[in-house]
């Protein structure tokens, strides 16, 4: 899972990241946006576009938000 959207996105869901994604791998959930790990090409274009700094490479997610890696993966497992 290259990039993960974390807590600052909750309730904000600014779609600036969606606009720059070349593979349309960012989806809207009930509380936040999610990046599909199977579709993401790890380009990183979404990260600097996020106005609330909610997007991180999976290896750089702050410790307090590490559980968002699993939350993101589970969102797409439930979609199948």
The CATH number of the domain holding residue 31 is 3.30.70.20
| pLDDT attached to residue 28 | 96
- Is the pLDDT assigned to residue 1 strictly greater than 80? no
For residue 26, what are the CA distances in angstroms to 50, 63, 64? 12, 23, 22
Closest C-alpha among 71, 58, 3 to residue 22: 3
Determine the distance from the C-alpha atom of residue 33 to the mean position of all C-alpha atoms in its chain, rounded to a whole number. 6
* Mean pLDDT computed over 64-71: 95
In this predicted model, what pLDDT tens digit does every residue of 6-56 receive, in sequence order?
Answer: 999 999 999 999 999 999 999 999 999 999 999 999 999 999 999 999 999
pTM: 0.92
Counting the structural domains of the chain, the total is 1
Domain that residue 72 falls in: 3-79
């Amino acid at each position: 899972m290259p990039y993960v959207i974390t807590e600052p996105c909750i309730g904000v869901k600014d779609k600036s990241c969606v606009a720059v994604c070349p593979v349309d791998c960012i989806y809207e959930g009930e509380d936040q946006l999610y990046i599909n790990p199977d579709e993401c090409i790890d380009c990183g274009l979404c990260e600097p576009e996020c106005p609330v700094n909610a997007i991180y490479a999976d290896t750089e997610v702050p410790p307090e938000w590490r559980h968002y890696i699993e939350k993101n993966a589970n969102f797409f497992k439930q979609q199948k």
